[in-house]
Amino acid sequence: MTIAMPVPDADVLAKRERIARALRAIVPGEGVIDAPEALRPWESDGLTAYRQPPLLVVLPETTAQVSAVLKWCHAEGVKVVPRGAGTSLSGGALPLADAVLLGLGKFKRVLEIDYEDRVAVVQPGVTNLAITQAVEGRGFYYAPDPSSQIACTIGGNVAENSGGVHCLKYGLTTNNVLGVEIVMMDGEVVRLGGRHLDPCGLDLLGVVVGSEGLLGVVTEVTVRILPKPETARAVLVGFPDAEQAGACVAQVIAEGIIPAGMEMMDRPAIHAAEAFVQVGYPLDVGALLIVEVDGPAAECDFLIGEIARIASANGAVTLRVSENEAERMAFWAGRKAAFPAVGRISPDYLCMDGTIPRRRLPDVLRRMEELSEEYGLRVANVFHAGDGNLHPLILYDANVPGELDKAEAFGADILRLCVAVGGVLTGEHGVGIEKRDLMPEMFSEADLRQQQRVKCAFDPELLLNPGKVFPVLHRCAELGRMHVHHGALPHPELPRF
């Protein structure tokens, strides 16, 4: 455990019973959980290496209750951590010992569907997949599809700006959300955006999406829904090595094709997936590409032909085209099972999430192999090849003393490498606590201060989800001063992470 969380406030811990009483007055019945054993299930999110039972859990059912809870906590100086389904892979919903965990799980209603304007208004606890299920009868769907879509909620998707395998063509959450209702830390309810495009004024919605629960608590979301493409087909292509697969990806895009999805797996990931789900992945290749196209049948047929031609020109050694829906699903089954498949061959794994310029893929994979040797830990790679988003899975055993630390150090080196080649720390999982201390690799002190000033505009007391995203929490008063001249940084003596 190398990531330190803020020291709990002893005064808040001491008034725990009073906080529980006050919150029960706002959310009666079962809405407040404070028995120590009942807090256990809430102690972590999808980043399970980190666990911390919350001070208590509150599960409101209405915006008015969320507002009252936040207002009370604000007045009392009590921190709040918002939580959707708790599937964050970056620790975005990790509880704090002195913070109320505010669960939005009871906000489960689809409020309105407007097919004519192609929007749906939903509560934040509705799962990503449930939106699609609510509209698919009429031939529509909600495009962003993070792999956790059966469990993750739209509120969490807004917080994390979630992506998915189709986001190169259809965008991230931010490109598919029209409006939100949020409750500010002081209890004020604000609506940003709405049912139409490009509202007047600053794009506050744009900065709330992806703010990782640090700016406000989302209580309603208006999303765009799209007509479901007529067909979808996939091609499964094997290459001797990742370099050729990468060259194929570059040429597909250079020739003007934006596939609905384009995924790459390296040899360890292919073997792990095939051993797990037996879908007929070729085992004698160094890299496997799944390219999916969607749209009218005529378009899919044409593009499949183009992709096959480009793949052959780049040294493909195997190529299969899905001839029916079952086959297309089988191609995906291995990729979608890659994480649990790796979970079978290793007691534990860490999933990294950097993005790189695609042209740097061969260098990055080569360096990653060297690091794997240096650390003595195996790594398997799955890769959203179209947009350069890498998911290296670092295999380790938490029961071996020191191995988690080693895996984290390896992961940090991979992310530094991503930034060094012109990429970023996180493509879709969020910073959370996991990448928090690496932020200075990508952003200067001035860059981070500007982001924190935005935080201060929303939550000047820094009570909402503290300890996440920012490596150093500056007080807002300190950030408000104009104290940098001619590029000189304050506190040059402070260590940089």
φ, ψ dihedrals at 346, nearest 5° = -145, 140
* Least distance (Å) between residue 167 CB and another protein: 7
State yes or no: residue 299 binds another protein (CB under 8 A). yes
Question: Toward another protein, which CB reaches closer, 281 or 335?
Answer: 335
State yes or no: residue 257 binds another protein (CB under 8 A). yes
State yes or no: residue 202 binds another protein (CB under 8 A). yes
State yes or no: residue 256 binds another protein (CB under 8 A). yes
State yes or no: residue 454 binds another protein (CB under 8 A). yes
Write out the two tokens for 414.
């991979």
State yes or no: residue 250 binds another protein (CB under 8 A). yes
Specify whether the CB–CB gap between 155 and 209 falls below 8 A. Answer: no
When binding is defined by CB under 8 A, the residue of 431, 462, 463, 464 that contacts another protein is: 431
Neighbouring-strand partners of residue 381:
392
Window 211 to 230, contacts with another protein (CB under 8 A): 211, 227-230
Question: Toward another protein, which CB reaches closer, 76 or 301?
Answer: 301
State yes or no: residue 325 binds another protein (CB under 8 A). no
Specify whether the CB–CB gap between 172 and 429 falls below 8 A. Answer: no
Question: Toward another protein, which CB reaches closer, 268 or 388?
Answer: 388
State yes or no: residue 63 binds another protein (CB under 8 A). no
CA distances from 140 to 132, 146, 170, 178, 230 (A): 7, 18, 14, 17, 11
State yes or no: residue 303 binds another protein (CB under 8 A). yes
Window 109 to 138, contacts with another protein (CB under 8 A): 114-119
* Least distance (Å) between residue 309 CB and another protein: 14
State yes or no: residue 253 binds another protein (CB under 8 A). yes
* Least distance (Å) between residue 201 CB and another protein: 5
CA distances from 136 to 32, 336, 357 (A): 36, 22, 35
Q: Which are the contacts of 299, defined by CB distance < 8 A and separation ≥ 6?
A: 293
When binding is defined by CB under 8 A, the residue of 447, 489, 494, 497 that contacts another protein is: 447
Window 388 to 427, contacts with another protein (CB under 8 A): 388-389, 422-427
* Least distance (Å) between residue 181 CB and another protein: 11
CA distances from 284 to 52, 267, 404 (A): 44, 8, 31
When binding is defined by CB under 8 A, the residue of 442, 462, 463, 464 that contacts another protein is: 442
SS3 183: strand
How far apart are alpha carbons 52 and 54 in whole angstroms?
Answer: 6
State yes or no: residue 308 binds another protein (CB under 8 A). no
